[in-house]
């Protein structure tokens, strides 16, 4: 019986030269974890591809879709794996094209990567093309921009035949670009920024600033839902939760109203930087888009950046809201993010926030309250929630208190 397997294509990894095997091995690890609920017999490397095999030898479209969601995957193709018997792989080509859906034009793309097979690629194209023309007499061969392409690749003693291929998320495997700390809210923007940096190979550690005890903890549960929605990408091992509401109240009483948001964000950035130091992360990530709200003007961004020394990455800085919404819908976080939840972002907000902060006035406001004591207190009350998502995530040896209600019991450290 002809086997059905999933071929995993990658683009950027193929350009990595001597480091290519490191990226391939990480992608293999991430795929095994992402497919742990499927009957996968193995994930292995073959010439120019990764190969996913199932125990029943019949990979499914559901598995193909799961593969496509893993960062580093450019395309995922359901392929028939045949021996080098010409009748067998020609029959597989007929079956693959017949299953491809509606089409008017097609072509064959055959390639020989194994010298065990005597025919050259041109002869292989002609052989399979002739069989397909015979079986699909009402369809037209078209070499440029056909509706459908049937691929026949002879690799390591087998022929892989497919036409059913879907686009993957691309990027690089999570775990190949180091750690970053992401400031994650339950809104639309920051989950998208988190996903985009993870797609570039970073292991992401979100930190969520809750309005607790001044608000309910609803936003914390929504953030948990967002992380679970991103589960297929395998970006996240742990989320930190910072109860910030009481300290926001303190800031709101101490500083000029127009500068509240900048003070809040400076404290958040410093806490995030300290978590980055704890985790060994090299950058912070935010969901800011230039000019989208008052706190995201260049002057205000500079005033907040001044508080930290670590690089701050802003993947959405040039995106408009509609672009961000479309991406949120693509990664299945939009519906979660549009649920109403009180959090620190809406707590003690000024009526007229400053849009062009002057650094002298910012520093004066900053020194009007004991920010060092506040940051120390916040660090003592940080909680965490662990998620079994990211095989590249290694927790720090020194751990703050777990989140008492949300942290899974198996991750509790006494």
Nearest to 168 by CA among 44, 13, 336, 389: 13
Tokens of 251: 């800031």
Q: Cβ contacts of residue 63 below 8 Å, gap of 6+?
A: 6, 35, 38, 40, 52, 54
54 DSSP β-pair partners = 40
184 labelled as ligand-binding? yes
Distance CA 392, CA 13 (A): 17
* Strand ordering across the sheet containing 203-210: 312-313, 284-285, 179-183, 203-210, 238-243, 383-386
- The answer to whether residues 63 and 69 touch, using CB atoms and an 8 Å cutoff, is no
Which of 126, 121, 96 minimizes the C-alpha distance to 111? Answer: 121
Residue 222, annotated as binding a ligand: no
* 329 beta partners: none
260 is in an annotated binding site: no
Angstrom CA distances, 237 to 35, 130, 383, stand at 17, 52, 14
**Residue 210 near residue 243, CB atoms below 8 Å:** yes
Q: Give the span between the Cα atoms of 375 and 272, in whole angstroms.
A: 11
Any binding-site annotation on 106? no
Q: What is the DSSP letter of 318?
A: T
Kind of pairing between the strands at 148-155 and 105-112: parallel
DSSP state of 217: S
In whole angstroms, give the CA distance from residue 378 to residue 359.
25
- 209 marked ligand binding residue: yes
Sheet of 40-46, strands arranged across: 40-46, 49-54, 3-9, 75-82, 158-167, 148-155, 105-112, 140-141
9 is in an annotated binding site: no
Q: How many CB atoms lie within 10 A of CB 34?
A: 25
If you write DSSP's letter for every residue of 99-143 in order, what string do you get? TS-S-SEEEEEEEE--TTS-S-HHHHHHHHHHHHHHH-TTSEE-S
Is residue 314 a known part of a binding site? no
Which residues fall in the annotated binding site for ATP?
A: 183-184, 208-209, 265, 287, 296
- Per the annotation, where are the binding residues? 183-184, 208-209, 265, 287, 296
């Amino acid at each position: 019986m002809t086997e059905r397997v999933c071929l995993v294509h990658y683009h950027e990894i193929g350009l990595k030269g001597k480091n290519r095997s490191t990226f391939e091995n990480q992608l293999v690890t991430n795929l095994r974890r992402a497919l742990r609920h499927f009957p996968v017999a193995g994930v292995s490397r073959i010439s120019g591809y990764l190969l996913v095999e199932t125990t029943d030898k019949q990979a499914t479209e559901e598995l193909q879709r799961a593969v496509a969601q893993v960062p580093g995957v450019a395309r995922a193709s359901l392929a028939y794996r045949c021996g080098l018997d010409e009748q067998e792989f020609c029959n597989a080509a007929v079956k693959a094209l017949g299953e491809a859906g509606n089409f008017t034009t097609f072509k064959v793309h055959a390639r020989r990567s194994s010298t065990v097979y005597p025919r050259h690629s041109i002869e292989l194209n002609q052989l399979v093309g002739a069989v397909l023309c015979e079986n699909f007499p009402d369809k037209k061969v078209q070499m440029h921009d056909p509706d459908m392409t049937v691929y026949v690749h002879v690799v390591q003693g087998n022929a892989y035949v497919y036409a059913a291929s879907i686009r993957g998320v691309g990027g690089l495997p999570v775990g190949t670009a180091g750690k970053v700390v992401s400031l994650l809210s339950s809104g639309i923007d920051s989950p998208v920024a988190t996903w985009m940096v993870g797609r570039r190979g970073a292991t992401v550690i979100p930190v969520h600033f809750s309005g607790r005890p001044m608000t309910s903890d609803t936003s914390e549960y929504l953030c948990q839902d967002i992380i679970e929605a991103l589960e297929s990408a395998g970006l996240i091992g742990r989320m930190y939760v910072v109860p910030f509401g009481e300290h926001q109240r303190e800031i709101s009483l101490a500083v000029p109203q127009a500068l509240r948001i900048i003070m809040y964000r400076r404290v958040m950035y410093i806490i995030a930087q300290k978590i980055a130091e704890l985790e060994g992360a090299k950058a912070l990530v935010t969901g800011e888009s230039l000019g989208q709200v008052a706190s995201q003007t260049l002057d205000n961004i500079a005033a907040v950046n001044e508080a930290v020394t670590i690089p701050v990455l802003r993947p959405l800085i040039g995106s408009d809201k509609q672009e961000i919404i479309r991406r949120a819908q693509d990664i299945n976080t939009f519906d979660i993010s549009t649920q109403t939840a009180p959090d620190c972002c809406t707590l003690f907000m000024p009526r007229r926030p400053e849009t062009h902060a002057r650094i002298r006035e910012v520093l004066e406001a900053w020194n009007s309250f004991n920010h060092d004591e506040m940051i120390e207190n916040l660090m003592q009350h940080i909680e965490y929630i662990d998620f079994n998502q990211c095989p590249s995530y290694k927790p720090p040896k020194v751990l703050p208190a777990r989140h008492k209600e949300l942290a899974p019991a198996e991750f509790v450290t006494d």
